[in-house]
Structure 1
Amino acid sequence: MIGGQLKRFAKARKDLLVAVNEMVRHMFDEIDYILEARNAERFASLYSDCPSNGYLCPYNVLMSTVHGQTCNQNSKDGITNKTKNASGIKVPKIYWDLTRKAVLTMEWLDGIKLTDETALKKACLNQRELIDQGVYCSLRQLLDVGFFHADPHPGNLFATSSGFLAYLDFGMMGDIPRHYRVGLIQVLVHFVNRDSLGLANDFLSLGFIPEGVDIQSVADALQTSFGKGTQRSQDFQ
């Protein structure tokens, strides 16, 4: 309806109409608690088995997705024997007999903010492992499965005392088609390898830049943005 009203204005852009209609659609999705409950159970079924240790660093996840390669994690993070490893992903259980379209009833979870280092240490939890767990789960959502949590702000993520990374609020979710997931993987690979021309072509195939643009000029601009960073970023090691 809002998008339709905008069409009355000659200068309204098509992408603006799409954005407004998408925003309104998600707004109504977020107040449908039956849909949110189903999203929560689907998310749990897909990601509760996310590995809780091993190759959780971002570069290892990317390389395992593309090439099936992994590298060993070592103990340089200073994790002691008394520190609990990340236990996986936790989603509150839905109580369907008490849930309606306007009422969502789920399991209560006590948690610790991921930014509360003191509380995490008191619970013998390793902050780095919890963050790696979140990165791994996010990459799996975006690059592997395609069903993703679209609102993962700090209020919707916390650690449990047993070491799980808990997700809340499943009102805003999304699905990424396979060809886009493959395209995003290529973007990451070309970015890590500082392949500016490959990256420019990825942007074109994904629709980030319009047809007819001089790809070489885009590649040159990307190469300039890389600066002197010709080697793999430490963030991906």
Structure 2
Amino acid sequence: MSVGSNGVLAGLRIDLRRLHETWMELVYPRQRGAGDTVLGTWQPDSQLGRIGYRVWSALGVPVIALVYPLVLLGAFVRFQTRRIGRTAASLGLLGVVALSLVVWGGLAALARFQLDLIAGGFLAIALAGGVATVSAALAVGTKSAGGRVTTVLLAYPFAVTAIFLPPVVAALFSKTLAAVVLPNSTALAQWLLDNALAPVGLAETFSRTFELEGLGYVIMWLAISFPIGWALGTLVSLADLVRPTE
């Protein structure tokens, strides 16, 4: 077996051990990372306590089997987001805003002078650029202002908003984009009603009170961006717990 394979297997064993130790520490003290300390891992003294300890340990095996793929996904997401984060940190808040304005301003100018055949192209791209710039600034600002909780609750959702929302805003002012973005958004909304809201009894309420047209598309994608951002932030936090970067 190659050295590389040995390194991967060793990393997997470390991850699984940390996950199991974390599972054990939900109920028992001094479990995570205590094996190499002076006191060592805590063990119950009584026979009944040892039985309970082994049962809880065995219950953790299927839980870890379900959670570990999420840890690997979180590690991948963390790698990608921290590459972007390092770039944003080197630019700073004003730098990110300036870069976004330059990029989107260039696209808007291209639409104005070169893509006149696209109905509403200039206005669509200009508004999309404004949304992207504000969302990116909020993502960088909230990431810099707070710790892990603020990052998960605000920075990740705003970063997802910077990706999802600009095409939707642009589609409201461009027939070319609207023909692609809006029908797919409607299909996604119907799928969410049938598969996410109907099982909890909220589909009829949303259908009756929420009209999917115009600004409704923006609200829909803004509402979608936050749960996705929270999910990505949670995956990264899980990867940090099991596989700390330090």
Tell me the TM-score normalised to structure 2 length: 0.27
Larger radius of gyration: 2
Q: Greater share of strand residues, 1 or 2?
A: 1
Tell me the TM-score normalised to structure 1 length: 0.28
